[in-house]
């Protein structure tokens, strides 16, 4: 039954051995606490037309889900990246081939990259402990990041404070760094990272930028002017439960960890849970989907805490949400193809920011509205922010464009953060110079 969906994606004659191998690997990984992805591949497909996109969307709607879309089907001009478990490779490839969907292998074996990542982290941890230091060029666990936050705030108490804004579903603290050189109730800029927990480069970039703000204040005239007039709020770990889970069990986990009676699948996509456009295209009502929107707007404590804090503040003038991957800088709307009223200004600002980013390491970003640049997505942070009066609302998709995807090597943390900082600085400076 190759080349068909539903029951047609069952095992082929030789898949039993593969499944046996996978089970053995999974048992071993479970003993070590981590899911094993040995033999899993990331395939890239460039759909030629809407019909081929529809065939890929059929894969997305399978129950139970057979594949994990890293870049979902959006439009013919954009590549689709999907992680295929080893046990499903033969049948998924047969399905693609039978429908004339040409694919290339972006990552031949995900576990190889995960093993390298874990080994690099362990080596870095040994060095940090022996030197009693914190490495800004390494990935860290939630506990390590929260410990660093405490030390960072203590060492820079004249300019940085830690704010608790709520608890996650599993009762972890949701923390925000406040950078301020003046009195309270000033205009502010909000930056968040890690709303999708597997996007580790975003947390690492946030940490580096926190240090950059502290070290450059008083030296960099533009940053100094910004901070003398406005506060900066930085939420480095927007999804603490999901992030902890990526370290303890499943490195590729995207959602939060909320559960509900009678529903077997866990987690809500926190970037589909916001009120603006909630439940529209680009979100899913299936709790097992990676883009499950949740039962109602702001149902998730992580979203509610952030929304309540920003609303209560009442004077946030820019919001920047940091994601990965694809190398894009985008503005609203996600839920609609209609241009926002500030389209021209936001487009030109995105263009300037992307140019500033390019000048650091020569990395090219595309830019535009979310719905026209990436895909239609409803219930997202950016749309909520814009609809609540925050004109300068932007979302980054950091490195890369698919060679490593969510598994960007730690060697790229510093250059990624450096270039992102220059784009962010451009947006913040424009916000300062164009009050509204």
Give the active site residue among 60, 117, 199, 397.
397
Rounded-to-integer distance, Cα 435 and Cα 187, Å: 10
Question: Which sign, positive or negative, has the C-alpha torsion 66, 72, 74, 78?
Answer: negative
Question: Which sign, positive or negative, has the C-alpha torsion 319, 320, 323, 327?
Answer: positive
Query: Other C-beta atoms within 10 Å of 268: how many?
Result: 27
Rounded-to-integer distance, Cα 17 and Cα 37, Å: 16
Q: Among residues 195, 386, 383, which one has the least CA distance to residue 281?
A: 383
Within 8 A by CB and 6+ apart from 92, the residues are: 9, 43, 59, 66, 67, 84
Q: Fill in the DSSP letter of residue 181.
A: S
Burial of 67 (0-12, 13-18, 19+ CB in 10 A): middle
Q: Among residues 370, 196, 368, which one has the least CA distance to residue 282?
A: 370
Phi, psi torsion values for 328, nearest 5 degrees = -140, 150
Q: Would you tell me the crossing angle of helices 142-155 and 200-216 to the nearest 10 degrees?
A: 10
The separation between CA 155 and the C-alpha centre of its own chain, rounded to angstroms, equals: 29
Rg (the chain; Cα; Å): 22
Active site residue 344: no
Q: Fill in the DSSP letter of residue 340.
A: P
Rounded-to-integer distance, Cα 15 and Cα 22, Å: 10
Which residues are catalytic, by number? 397
């Amino acid at each position: 039954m190759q080349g068909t969906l539903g029951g047609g994606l069952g095992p082929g004659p030789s898949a039993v051995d593969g499944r046996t191998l996978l089970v053995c690997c999974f048992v071993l990984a479970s003993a070590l606490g981590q899911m094993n992805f040995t033999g899993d591949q990331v395939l890239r497909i460039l759909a030629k037309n809407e019909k081929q996109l529809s065939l890929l969307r059929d894969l997305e709607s399978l129950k139970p889900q057979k594949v994990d879309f890293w870049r979902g089907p959006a439009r013919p001009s954009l590549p689709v990246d999907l992680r295929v478990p080893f046990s499903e490779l033969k049948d998924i490839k047969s399905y693609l081939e039978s429908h004339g969907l040409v694919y290339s292998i972006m990552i031949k074996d995900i576990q190889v990259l995960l093993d390298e990542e874990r080994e690099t982290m362990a080596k870095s941890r040994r060095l940090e402990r022996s030197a009693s230091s914190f490495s800004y060029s390494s990935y860290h666990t939630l506990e390590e990041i929260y410990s660093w936050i405490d030390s960072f705030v203590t060492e820079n108490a004249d300019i940085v404070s830690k704010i608790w804004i709520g608890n996650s579903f599993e009762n972890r603290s949701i923390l925000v760094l406040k950078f301020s050189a003046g009195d309270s109730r000033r205009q502010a800029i909000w930056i968040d990272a890690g709303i999708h927990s597997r996007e580790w480069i975003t947390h690492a970039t946030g940490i580096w930028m926190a240090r950059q703000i502290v070290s450059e204040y008083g030296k960099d005239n533009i940053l100094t002017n910004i901070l003398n007039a406005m506060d900066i709020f930085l939420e480095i770990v927007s999804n603490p439960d999901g992030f902890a889970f990526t370290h303890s069990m499943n490195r590729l986990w995207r959602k939060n960890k909320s559960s509900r009676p009678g529903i077997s699948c866990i987690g809500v996509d926190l970037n589909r849970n916001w009120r603006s456009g909630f439940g529209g295209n680009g979100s899913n009502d299936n709790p097992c989907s990676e883009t499950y929107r949740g039962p109602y707007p702001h149902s998730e404590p992580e979203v509610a805490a952030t929304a309540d804090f920003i609303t209560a503040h009442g004077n946030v003038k820019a919001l920047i949400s940091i994601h990965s991957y694809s190398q894009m800088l985008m503005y609203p709307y996600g839920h609609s193809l209609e241009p926002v009223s500030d389209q021209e200004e936001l487009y030109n600002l995105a263009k300037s920011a992307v140019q500033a980013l390019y000048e650091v390491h020569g990395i090219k970003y595309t830019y535009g509205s979310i719905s026209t640049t990436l895909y239609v997505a409803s219930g997202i942070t950016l749309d909520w922010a814009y609809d609540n009066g925050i004109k300068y609302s932007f979302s980054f998709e950091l490195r890369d464009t698919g060679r490593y995807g969510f598994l960007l090597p730690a060697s790229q943390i510093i250059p990624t953060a450096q270039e992102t900082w220059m784009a962010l600085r451009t947006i913040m400076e424009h916000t300062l110079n164009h009050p509204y």
